[in-house]
Structure 1
């Protein structure tokens, strides 16, 4: 009997088993990487769809985002972001229009962008708007008025667009205003006054610029 005939057919089996044993960790590693890749893909797809949903509410001229550090000590790496063309301040984004509409149409236009006419809660917010109006309308020689989200359903009964109760201590009327006339139930800001007290009540059919407000996005 020659050397080849003395080899048993079963002698190759242990070698094959050893080879499979050596491959098992690699198979496990490749499988784990495949699962991880799949999970990351799902997360990215979800984030993409969320961002697309937000983008649909932006003005047509919005091409990106404008972000500033959140300023929070507990979230040092977070950012407050607004659509391009909106101005960030604290927790909100503000849009100053370049066209004029009556109050109702102004509120509808803001609503179509996922926002509302601005609700002013503090002196700091009023000061920001006052400064920003000067920047936005610096080339306007005549007085410019902008709608805010304050109007009255009954004379003297002021209410904000988001149903926030009216707070007299956070109101910034011009001297002698509001006139509280039945024909003047909506409120505008004058941009060319010399101080923060620049609100005035006007007829709601007055065509005016507007300020929209929406919540900033935290990233």
Structure 2
């Protein structure tokens, strides 16, 4: 009888469920969500934060390749060129690309050739490109772009949810 109480007692206080909620995909210890709606980079960051996450931060070739593999599954048009906001910016200091959640400098990069260019090629004024788009070009190459433009986005968050019940 004492064993039954111990099990019930433990079960009443905390449950840990691993895995991702519906609509999210798991990779290693993180869950990822590819949006179906467009937003500015700032709006996308707010949406991800509202679910206790952040914009995706591809810090390794493994994660980069995983995200590339997910994009066609998100669309009815797998061969169309899709762009997604990710959690990298140089908004704090020009040319210092940082992960937004940690403000650590990005060491492994996947820039498209000629990027980042801060829109220098156009010669336009006031067109700072301080946020990073993940381009589905088969490689997920990065492109710096104006943070106020509207694109799809990718959120990330830890995969384990801990719920206190009692």
Task: Bin the TM-score by the shorter chain.
Answer: 0.7 to 0.9
2:159 aligned with 1:159, yes or no? no
Q: 1:150 aligns with which of 88, 91, 105?
A: 88
**Gap change, CA 1:164 and 1:120, over 3 Å in 2:** farther
Count, aligned residues: 154
Partner of 2:124: none
Tell me the equivalent position of 1:39. 6
Q: How many Å apart are 1:171 and its aligned residue?
A: 0.5
1:58-207 mapped onto 2 (5 Å cutoff): 81-139=19-77, 142-152=80-90, 153-168=92-107, 170-181=108-119, 183-191=128-136, 193-194=137-138, 196=139, 198-207=141-150
Q: Does the CA-based 8 Å contact 1:155-1:180 persist in structure 2?
A: no
Closer, same or farther in 2 for the Cα pair 1:162/1:90, shift >3 Å? same
Report deviation, 1:166.
2.4
Contact 2:128 2:146 in 1 (8 A): yes
1: CA distance between counterparts of 2:104 and 2:68?
A: 22
Unmatched tracts of structure 2, length 5 or more:
120-126
Task: Give 1:140 shift.
Answer: 5.5
Distance change >3 Å, CA 164–CA 91, structure 1 → 2:
farther
Distance in 2 (alpha carbons) for counterparts of 1:91 and 1:44: 24
Q: 2-side partners of 1:141 and 1:171: how far apart?
A: 24
Q: Which runs of 5+ in 1 are unaligned?
A: 1-32, 52-79
Scaled by the length of structure 2, the TM-score of the pair is: 0.82
Aligned-residue CA RMSD (Å): 2.3
SS at match of 1:176: coil
The normalised TM-score by structure 1 is 0.63
**Deviation string, structure 1 residues 168-196 (Cα, Å, up to 9, x no partner):** 4x1001111111356110001112x13x2
Question: Secondary structure in 2 aligned to 1:84?
Answer: coil
